[in-house]
Amino acid sequence: MKTKPSFRLPFIVILILAASCNTPRYIYSPSAHNVPVLTKKGDSKIGAVYSTNIGGEERRDGELVDNRSRGVDVHGAAAITDHFAVQGNYFYRWEKTTGGADTSTIKYNRNLAELGIGYYIPMNNRKNVIFQLFVGAGIGKFSFTDHSIYGFNFHEADITKIYLQPAFLFRSKGSFTSSISLRSSILQYRNIKTSYTFNELSDYSLDSLNNRAKVFFEPAFTGSFGFKNFPGFRIEFQGGLSFLASRKYVDYHMINFSAGAFIDIGAMIHGNRQ
């Protein structure tokens, strides 16, 4: 007796392969570091930078995936004494990931507001090497929507962040200043709301978000320069990396490059030149 060929097994195999090559769902994108050039009481920084992961097409598990991160970081800081300062940051990202075996289109929105306090001190008599240390906290929300061959889903979470950011600044004889900062960020994901099933959360490495806080180690290099005829105005650029310090794997963006400008109001009013 002949039996008809079964297509059930190949179909199951295809589903398994598709699940193993899912488009990544990114839980985090690093922000630009706020590393103000502060040397004395009254120095300040107010400005913004455009940030990107310089992302484009990449291959993951043999599938072509396009993941892009774009956003804005707004930075402010003020030296309230010759050694202590305060800072405020606002981080916003709009991101999009497309492709993969599940043909997903994932759109992200992330926003986070932070406040911090810091200490800075010259490391030599010439005051051209400065050490600063900022510590702060922030709150915000990360969310994304997911359109794929499996249907529509969403995921959102409230974010609490604590950060510690030491940095060394090096001032040249001219107007150029460079810095190396080594930020540690601790993120807690709270009040998670999602339409994913338990199995889908596990497949996309999202099931551990409400268990333990995620810790990221984030080094960055920042450069800024001013103009003799425009005291208090500076151009800034930065390149930074982010590394997850956790045994439980999650997808996240590792790179952030930013460029923008900021002003020192006191220097602009009094004509001081850095």
The whole-number pLDDT of residue 229 equals: 81
229-241 average pLDDT score? 92
What are the residues whose beta carbons fall under 8 Å from the beta carbon of 247, sequence distance 6 or more?
A: none
Question: Does residue 2 lie in a domain region?
Answer: no
Among residues 273, 274, 265, the alpha carbon closest in space to that of 77 is found at 265
pLDDT over threshold 60, residue 3: no
Phi then psi dihedrals of residue 15, to 5 deg: -65, -40
Cα separation values, 248 from 31, 205, 206, 219, Å: 22, 8, 10, 21
pLDDT over threshold 60, residue 142: yes
Q: For residue 78, list its beta bridge partners.
A: 44, 86
Question: Does residue 224 lie in a domain region?
Answer: yes
Range of the domain at 63: 8-270
The one-character DSSP state at 53 is -
Cβ atoms of residues 90 and 74 within 8 Å: yes
Decide: helix, strand or coil at residue 18.
helix
Among residues 240, 182, 177, the alpha carbon closest in space to that of 45 is found at 177
* Helix segments in 122-240, DSSP class H: 198-203
Q: Tell me the percentage of the chain whose pLDDT exceeds 90.
A: 66
Distance, in Å, from the CA atom of 71 to the CA atom of 253, rounded to the nearest integer, reads 13
Q: What is the mean pLDDT of the chain?
A: 87
113-117 average pLDDT score? 98
- Tens of pLDDT, residue by residue over 180-208, are 999 999 999 999 999 999 999 998 999 98
Total number of domains in the chain? 1
Decide: helix, strand or coil at residue 196.
coil
Decide: helix, strand or coil at residue 123.
coil
The pLDDT confidence band at residue 11, using thresholds 50, 70 and 90, is very low
Question: Does residue 155 lie in a domain region?
Answer: yes
Q: How far apart are the first and last CA of the chain?
A: 91
The pLDDT confidence band at residue 257, using thresholds 50, 70 and 90, is very high
Residues 47-58, buried b or exposed e (16+ Cβ, 10 A)? Answer: bbbebbbebeee
Question: Does residue 36 lie in a domain region?
Answer: yes
Largest interatomic CA distance in the chain: 98
231-248 average pLDDT score? 92
156-163 average pLDDT score? 98
Q: How many Cβ atoms are within 10 Å of 228's Cβ, its own excluded?
A: 8
* CATH (domain of 235): 2.40.128
Tokens 């291959």 label which residue? Answer: 59
The whole-number pLDDT of residue 97 equals: 87
The whole-number pLDDT of residue 227 equals: 86
Question: Does residue 136 lie in a domain region?
Answer: yes
pLDDT over threshold 90, residue 118: yes
pLDDT over threshold 60, residue 1: no
The whole-number pLDDT of residue 262 equals: 96
The whole-number pLDDT of residue 180 equals: 98
pLDDT over threshold 90, residue 90: yes
**Between these two residues, 173 and 3, which has the higher pLDDT value?**
173
Question: Does residue 262 lie in a domain region?
Answer: yes
pLDDT over threshold 80, residue 157: yes
The whole-number pLDDT of residue 21 equals: 58
Q: For residue 166, list its beta bridge partners.
A: 133
Distance, in Å, from the CA atom of 205 to the CA atom of 190, rounded to the nearest integer, reads 16
What are the residues whose beta carbons fall under 8 Å from the beta carbon of 124, sequence distance 6 or more?
A: none
The whole-number pLDDT of residue 73 equals: 98
Question: Does residue 3 lie in a domain region?
Answer: no
The whole-number pLDDT of residue 63 equals: 67
pLDDT over threshold 80, residue 4: no
The whole-number pLDDT of residue 199 equals: 92
Cβ atoms of residues 28 and 214 within 8 Å: yes
- Tens of pLDDT, residue by residue over 16-64, are 334 445 788 999 999 999 999 999 999 999 999 999 998 766 666 666 6
The whole-number pLDDT of residue 272 equals: 54
Decide: helix, strand or coil at residue 201.
helix
Question: Does residue 1 lie in a domain region?
Answer: no
